[in-house]
């Protein structure tokens, strides 16, 4: 029972992290499309370089957040799942018990 609670403690923040990473990725794609279509007619080179650097950093942070959330969500799901096994009383070995 305690492992299921620990699993839920991993899963709930992981879902929130995936949502935040998705929003961040979406905003990065919108910014990239905006920069690609507007071009640099009145912008100097420093502003264009800063915008590209900020876009790259935001995209990288979003990918790292999504990867971490996916990893911790998978760990939480493994804790949350319940597997039924048979345990031998003499030797203590476990045998997987498949449900029909």
Gap between the terminal Cα atoms of the chain: 24
Stated length of the chain? 100
- pLDDT-above-90 percentage for the chain: 29
Strand partners, 86: 95
Query: 49-74: per-residue pLDDT in tens?
Result: 777 788 888 889 999 999 999 999 99
Q: Which residue has the higher pLDDT, 12 or 94?
A: 12
Average pLDDT, the chain: 82
Rounded distance between C-alpha atoms, residue 35 and residue 50, angstroms: 12
- Which runs of consecutive H residues, i.e. helices, occur in 1-100? 2-38, 45-80
**Global pTM value:** 0.67
Q: What is the mean pLDDT of residues 74-82?
A: 86
């Amino acid at each position: 029972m305690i492992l299921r609670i620990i699993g839920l403690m991993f899963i709930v923040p992981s879902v929130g992290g995936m949502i935040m990473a998705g929003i961040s990725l979406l905003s990065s794609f919108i910014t990239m499309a905006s920069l690609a279509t507007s071009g640099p007619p009145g912008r100097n080179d420093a502003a264009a370089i800063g915008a590209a650097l900020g876009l790259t950093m935001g995209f990288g942070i979003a990918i790292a957040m999504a990867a971490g959330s996916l990893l911790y969500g998978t760990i939480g799901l493994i804790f949350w799942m319940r597997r039924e096994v048979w345990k031998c009383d003499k030797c203590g070995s476990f045998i997987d018990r498949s449900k029909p």
